[in-house]
Amino acid sequence: MAAAGEAPRPEELLYGEQELVPEAAGWGHEPGSMLSRFDQALLAGWSDRMERGLFRYRLGALPTRLLPGPMGLVAQLNAQRGTQRRPPQPVCSLRQPFNPQDFNFTRIHPDEVLFCLRRAGDGCHAAPDPLLVAINASPLERGHVLLLPEPARGLPQALTAAGLRGALEALLLSTHPGFRVGFNGLGGYASVNHLHFHGLYLPRPLLVESVPAQPLCPPHCFSLLRDVPAPAFLFYAAGPAELEALARDMCRAAEHVAEAGLACNLFATRGDPPAGPGGRRGLRVLLWARRPSFGAKASTAFNVALCELAGYLPLPSEPLYREMTEAEALRNICEPLLPEPELLRLGRALARLLVPEGAAPAAARQGAPRGAGAAQLLPT
């Protein structure tokens, strides 16, 4: 019981490794018929807070359409988010420190917290950071939450391995095919400079979940996705045992990206192996390096952050939603991204960082399309 004057402690949802499911229910099933304990707790708590008026607006069914074209872009109209959300904080640096005077997640109302997600220790492996799971008061979709790694620590919006691993485990606790996890870095349209991830249920499958990738350093399942709305570096984990190494490698890659003066965005989803459809599905985690955008973002503009880069377009106005074409969307999405020669140079640098020279025998290549190799992808 909380002492007098203290905020009540949130309910704890304790989970074990056996609840981490690499494969979710397929899109052919009725999603609500196969929800996990995590999904049930999240969606029930989210709906309860909506009924209690804790959001900035009441979210009903959102108009959604598939844009004609090969990229399968999903456009969705959410005008209320554009006009009623809390103004995003201005960002002036990739290394901007946490400022306790600014809005941060220690200031949210206790009732906005759904539960604390904590991994049960097994005595053998270090557990990821516990996560507070809180509503996003300006939601993109039903079930949109914030995953907050120990907010009392006051960490800025920069990836940590323990925090990322916790967020990826949250994704694997869901059995809903539409649950994804994402991260916007500083300069990548992060709205609050306090470490957080987004968890949200999106209504459709996306191309980034199935298109084959070209290997960069295959033993670590590090590849490049090219035939997608926004070319991205792909990290892949076949199961829960690989999450710790994946989170560590992604943080090393993100740090290298920041040292190069670039911002990053991240999108995690279940998907096919790097070679494409045909094998057992696992976890795809996409990392985009992009030119940073500083200052406060405009809530009513088409800002390019994690959702847009992945091919899901939340649009703030009816004319934009009605008139948007795939070609126009792709022009906006690609504007902050690196030209291909720069992207390939960065890919070579990350491959050297993640797998030192001589440590990656050719026989160990995993998930590579037939005939594809790092030398073919990365010309000298």
Name the residue ranges covered by the structural domains of the chain: 12-17+36-357+365-377
Q: Which two tokens stand for residue 158?
A: 């920069």
CA dihedral 275, 18, 37, 309 (to 10 degrees): -30
**Which of 171-175, 197-201, 364-368 bottoms out in mean pLDDT, i.e. has the lowest?**
364-368
* pLDDT the model gives residue 380: 37
Q: How does pLDDT run across 317-376, given as a tens digit for each residue?
A: 999 999 999 999 999 999 999 999 999 999 999 999 998 655 543 333 333 333 333 333
* pLDDT the model gives residue 370: 33
* Superfamily of the domain at 12-17+36-357+365-377: ATP adenylyltransferase (3.30.428.70)
Q: Check whether 9 has a pLDDT greater than 90.
A: no
What are the residue numbers of the active site? 196
* pLDDT the model gives residue 219: 58
Q: Which two tokens stand for residue 66?
A: 């598939």
Report the predicted TM-score, pTM, of the whole model to 2 decimal places: 0.90
Residue 339 and residue 101 in contact, taking contact as beta carbons nearer than 8 Å: no
Q: Determine how β-strand 113-119 pairs with β-strand 12-15.
A: parallel
Q: What is d(CA 249, CA 161) in angstroms, rounded to the nearest whole number?
A: 8
CA nearest to 312, candidates 70, 79, 139, 75 = 75
* pLDDT the model gives residue 355: 81
Q: How does pLDDT run across 56-112, given as a tens digit for each residue?
A: 999 999 999 999 999 999 999 999 987 888 888 889 999 999 999 999 999 999 999
Residue 217 pLDDT class (50, 70, 90 cuts): confident
Element (H, E) at 135: strand 131-135
Q: Which two tokens stand for residue 121?
A: 């220790």
Query: What average pLDDT does this structure show over 205-210?
Result: 96
* pLDDT the model gives residue 30: 62
